[in-house]
Amino acid sequence: MVTNTQTPSPAASAQPATTSESATAAPAREEPEAAKVAPGLRKRTARKPADDDFPALDLGLEDSEFGDTARNGPTERVLTSDGATRLVITAYIGIGNRLFIRGDGPGLSWDKGVPLSFISIGKWRWETNDAVQPISFKLYKNDELECSALGQRTLDPGYQQEVTAAF
């Protein structure tokens, strides 16, 4: 007859000796996460930032300081290398529509507009080599609807001015 004389393994000795110890340890593992939060404490919801939380973003740009530029899009003006006077407009006016310019200057009148050249989607250009004094102008969609948001502007001779127009 053979008898089993093996010694218990370390894993077997690590098991609890009584069932009462294992019964008390099991519920602690099954507690929900909310029960682990200290009593009297609760989770805070995120606070919506107030306008005053970002004071560095207030640049103090007033319409009175910069005219219509802050409200109607950026205006960029650079001296042209060939001496031509150019106006480049960014305006998304839809397929089949054209942009016109009216004003005081070579080839312009306030009664009938001159079509701008289409450069690419949303980009239009008007230019002249005959300007000797500042040109006052207004933009029109299909020579009928005035761009009232942009209003009347001035273009200096020898410069290229870029404007964004919204109808």
Per-residue pLDDT of the chain (167 residues; tens, 9 = 90+): 555 555 555 554 455 545 444 445 555 555 555 555 556 666 666 666 555 554 544 444 444 333 443 345 556 788 888 999 999 999 999 999 999 999 999 999 999 999 999 999 999 999 999 999 999 999 999 999 999 999 999 999 999 999 999 98
Q: What would the 3-class secondary structure string for the chain be? A: CCCCCCCCCHHHHCCCCCHHHHHHHHHHHCCCHHHHCCCCCCCCCCCCCCHHHCHHHCCCCCHHHHCCHHHHCCEEEEECCCCCEEEEEECCCCCCCCEEEEEEECCECCCCCEECEEEECCEEEEEECCCCCCEEEEEEECCCEECCCCCCEEECCCEEEEEECCC
Residues linked to residue 73 through DSSP beta bridges, in sequence order: none
**Domain 73-164 has what CATH class?**
mainly beta
pTM of the model: 0.56
Q: What would the 3-class secondary structure string for 31-46 be? A: CCHHHHCCCCCCCCCC
Compute CA 93 distance to the chain's CA centroid, rounded to the nearest angstrom. Answer: 21
How far is Cα 42 from Cα 36, in angstroms, rounded to an integer?
11
Specify the pLDDT at position 138. 97
Domain boundaries, the chain: 73-164
